[in-house]
Amino acid sequence: MTHDDARLKKLKLRAWRRGFREADLILGPFADKHVSTFSPEELDWFERLLEQPDQDLYGWILGTQPTPAEFDGELMSRLKAFRDEVYAKGMDGGS
């Protein structure tokens, strides 16, 4: 396993094991699907994002709280679009 592989595995684990189930169910699948395609800068962003308090992060993802400028951008937009995909699948039975 390379250093990069270890970092990706750690980020995926952290995304799934935040201890806040609702956030886990968005961040975990998002990480599984996307982190392997992230640039080093995007990985740094995602790592910093995962260091944020659960309630704040979940509010940003849902759009119920304003996203701080340092996290607001293309990756947050992708994360919110992914959230919409997850919720759409959940509401229609995954079809």
pLDDT at residue 51, as a whole number: 95
Decide if 66 contacts 13 (C-beta within 8 A).
no
Residue 53's domain spans which residues?
A: 3-91
Rounded Cα gap, residues 25 and 41, in angstroms: 24
3-state helix, strand, coil split of the chain in percent (to 5) is 75, 0, 25
Which pLDDT score, from 0 to 100, does residue 94 have? 47
State residue 95's pLDDT score.
43
Tokens of 57: 């992060």
CA dist., res. 20 & res. 41, Å (int):
26
pLDDT reported for residue 92: 53
pLDDT tens over the chain, length 95 residues: 566 889 999 999 999 998 888 889 999 999 999 999 999 999 999 999 999 999 999 999 999 999 999 999 999 999 999 999 877 776 554 44
